[in-house]
């Protein structure tokens, strides 16, 4: 890549101008691509072109994760919190009592989506087989 000095800038008619303009558009394109990838990385979702079967598998997996989180993990957290017999300085405050169900739901969802539960795998497989039979 050819870069003109500050005392002798590249003129529009010089052959270096086309190279530097192309380099700038290439750089701009690379920066835009990098920015797009970083925005997907920060949102946690990478864009993909999924086929209908892959999309259905993903939907079945998400449904299975939500079911396990709501039906299995959240009640376990609720029982753990209700069985808390801590002394007054260590007992949950009013704020903790008010927001504990939301925290339990968030933690349950994170646990089922982060871990590879065999129960979630099995439910997702059963949901997909049910969808396939209904489609036929």
- Averaged pLDDT, groups of 10, the chain, 136 residues long: 47 48 65 72 58 83 92 93 85 86 90 86 91 77
Looking at 32, 47, 62, the residue that finishes a domain is 47
Predicted pLDDT at 114: 84
HSE-up of 98 (CA within 13 Å, CB side)?
3
Same domain, 43 and 104: no
If one counts the domains in the chain, the total is 2
pTM tops 0.75: no
Same domain, 14 and 56: no
Same domain, 1 and 63: no
Predicted pLDDT at 13: 46
Same domain, 21 and 67: no
Predicted pLDDT at 83: 86
Predicted pLDDT at 44: 58
Range of the domain at 31: 1-47
Predicted pLDDT at 30: 74
Same domain, 88 and 114: yes
Predicted pLDDT at 49: 59
Those residues whose C-beta lies under 8 Å from the C-beta of residue 77, and which sit 6 or more positions away, are 104, 107, 108
């Amino acid at each position: 890549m050819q870069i003109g000095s500050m005392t002798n800038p590249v003129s529009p008619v010089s052959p270096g101008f086309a190279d530097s303009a192309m380099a700038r558009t290439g750089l701009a394109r690379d920066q835009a691509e990098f920015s797009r990838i970083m925005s997907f990385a920060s949102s946690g979702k990478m864009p993909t072109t999924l086929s209908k079967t892959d999309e259905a598998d993903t939907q079945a997996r998400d449904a299975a994760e939500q079911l396990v989180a709501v039906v299995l993990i959240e009640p376990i957290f609720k029982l753990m919190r209700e069985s808390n017999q801590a002394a007054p300085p260590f007992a949950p405050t009013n704020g903790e009592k008010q927001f504990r169900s939301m925290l339990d739901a968030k933690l349950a969802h994170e646990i089922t989506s982060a871990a590879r539960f065999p129960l979630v795998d099995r439910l997702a497989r059963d949901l997909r087989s049910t969808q396939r039979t209904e489609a036929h």
